[in-house]
Amino acid sequence: MGAMGGYPPYAGFTEFAIAVGVILSAIVSLVGTSARKRSIVLGEAKLSDLAEMTGILDPRRVLAVFGPPGMGHTWPSVTLLDVRRARTPMGWLLSSDLVDYACILATVAALNVHHKLMPLALMGALAVQLAGWIVSTRVPK
């Protein structure tokens, strides 16, 4: 454990607690992204799925990008490639597997590598995960 310290019985506890939180947050994000990808592949993509995968939070803009929905308010003709083409930086923050894996990697490295910049990597991973959760509150339902 690094420089985040604490007093002897709890030295490193703060750093470890943050690391556990970041890893759990990234795993939850990966599971949610996987479920959304599955619904898109099965042709059952709803407005909230497309909004979260692309980062387009305005329902009118989702309609402009993907066209009108089919029966049942789903977009059966949208593919993962269409979603990737329409993805905005906010979409990367909300639903990118690469970003979540990078957060997990940074967290594990911060716990195992003793370097003065490792707590900064941990705080960066925490900031990315926290920003993703904050932005996800704006996704249309």
Dump pLDDT digits (tens) for 55-88: 999 999 999 999 999 988 999 999 999 999 999 9
What number is the average pLDDT over the span 39-44?
95
pLDDT at 126 over 90: yes
3-state SS string over the chain?
Answer: CCCCCCCHHHCCHHHHHHHHHHHHHHHHHHHHHHHHHHHHHCCCECHHHHHHHHCCCCHHHHHHHHCCCCCCCCECCCCHHHHHHHCCHHHHHHHCHHHHHHHHHHHHHHHHCCCCCHHHHHHHHHHHHHHHHHHHCCCCC
pLDDT of residue 3: 54
